[in-house]
């Protein structure tokens, strides 16, 4: 993809399907309608795999097989909405391969991840990703390197976007002797009330629901504003 096309880059992360926010699809549809992105990048944790976690899984949630089938079903409208997506590897995304390695299963025995999720051919996975924006800036995408993304941008000398940290939703700028750098952490798109996220009840920080977009080289956060019941209000602010 040429950098001339990277003028409106939509960045999503941490949907954790099938435990995504109930209004995820209409929210994404409205974002697409308003901003008309020319590229979509998902920086990980597109599905949850709660039942396969290295941590304790809740016995009241679906089995690994049932969770996968439900995730595939809930991915279908997103495949239709965004048939071409670049995705970045993540801790939940790589869980099957990490489990296989843990139990001594060679990777050749495991199916391709896109095949498992019945994903369109336009969904392509990367370990990490660097792109050139329409204004010539370079941006590095990683699922999550450090809670302070500003330090990552400073150390690497490149604009930086990450997810992973559900309770972080921010843009920071830092200057070097010859350029301005920015970093953006884009929160998550989960259903905070889902049993899979019961651990949130014991943490001080709350998940921040939203996504990011880069418009003509400028980063911007798009929050999903919720009402008192936790549902999206139905419009972008």
Write the pLDDT tens digit of every residue in 130-179. 999 999 999 999 999 888 888 889 889 999 999 999 999 999 999 888 88
Domains of the chain with CATH codes: 3-223 (3.60.21.10)
Q: What SS3 class is residue 34?
A: helix
> Residue 1 — very low, low, confident or very high, per pLDDT cuts 50/70/90?
very low
Q: Percent of the chain beyond pLDDT 70?
A: 95
Q: What is the pLDDT of residues 90-140, one digit of tens each?
A: 877 776 767 767 778 787 777 788 898 999 999 999 999 999 999 999 999
- Report the pLDDT value the prediction gives residue 4, as an integer from 0 to 100: 61
The sign one gets for the Cα dihedral 16, 18, 24, 29 is positive
Tally Cβ neighbours within 10 Å of residue 216.
11
Query: Residue 77, class by beta-carbon neighbours within 10 Å (0-12 exposed, 13-18 middle, 19+ buried)?
Result: middle
- Report the pLDDT value the prediction gives residue 72, as an integer from 0 to 100: 96
Tally Cβ neighbours within 10 Å of residue 78.
23
Lowest-pLDDT range, 25-29, 62-66, 208-212, 219-223? 62-66
**What single-letter DSSP state applies at residue 37?**
-
- Report the pLDDT value the prediction gives residue 56, as an integer from 0 to 100: 67
Average per-residue pLDDT for the chain: 90
Contact between residue 79 and residue 120 where contact means Cβ atoms under 8 Å apart: yes
- Report the pLDDT value the prediction gives residue 54, as an integer from 0 to 100: 66
- Report the pLDDT value the prediction gives residue 203, as an integer from 0 to 100: 74
Region 43-65 average pLDDT:
82
| Euclidean distance between CA atoms 150 and 73, whole angstroms | 37
Tally Cβ neighbours within 10 Å of residue 234.
11
- Report the pLDDT value the prediction gives residue 106, as an integer from 0 to 100: 81
Q: Is 89 left (phi over 0), alpha (psi -120 to 50) or beta?
A: beta
Q: Is 7 left (phi over 0), alpha (psi -120 to 50) or beta?
A: alpha
| Euclidean distance between CA atoms 52 and 65, whole angstroms | 10
- Report the pLDDT value the prediction gives residue 40, as an integer from 0 to 100: 98
**Alpha carbon separation from 47 to 179, 180, 190 (Å, rounded):** 37, 34, 10
Higher pLDDT, 205 or 181: 181
């Amino acid at each position: 993809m040429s950098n001339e096309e990277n003028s409106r880059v939509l960045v999503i992360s941490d949907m954790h399907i099938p435990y995504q926010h109930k209004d995820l699809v209409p929210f994404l549809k409205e974002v697409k309608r308003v901003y008309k992105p020319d590229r979509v990048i998902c920086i990980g944790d597109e599905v949850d795999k709660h039942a396969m976690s290295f941590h304790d899984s809740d016995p009241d949630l679906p089995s690994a097989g049932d969770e996968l089938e439900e995730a595939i079903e809930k991915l279908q409208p997103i495949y239709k909405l965004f048939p071409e997506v670049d995705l970045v590897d993540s801790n939940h995304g790589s869980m099957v391969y990490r489990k296989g390695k843990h139990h001594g299963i060679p990777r050749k025995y495991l199916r391709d991840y896109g095949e498992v999720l019945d994903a369109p051919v336009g969904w392509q996975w990367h370990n990490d990703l660097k792109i050139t924006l329409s204004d010539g800036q370079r941006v590095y995408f990683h699922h999550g390197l450090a809670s302070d993304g500003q330090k990552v941008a400073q150390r690497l000398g490149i604009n930086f976007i990450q997810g992973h940290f559900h309770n972080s939703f921010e843009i920071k700028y830092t200057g070097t002797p010859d350029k301005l750098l920015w970093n953006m952490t884009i929160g998550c798109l989960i259903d905070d009330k889902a049993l899979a996220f019961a651990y949130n009840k014991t943490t001080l920080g709350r998940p921040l629901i939203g996504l990011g977009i880069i418009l003509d080289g400028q980063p911007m956060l798009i929050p999903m504003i919720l009402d008192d019941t936790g549902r999206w209000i139905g419009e972008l602010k």
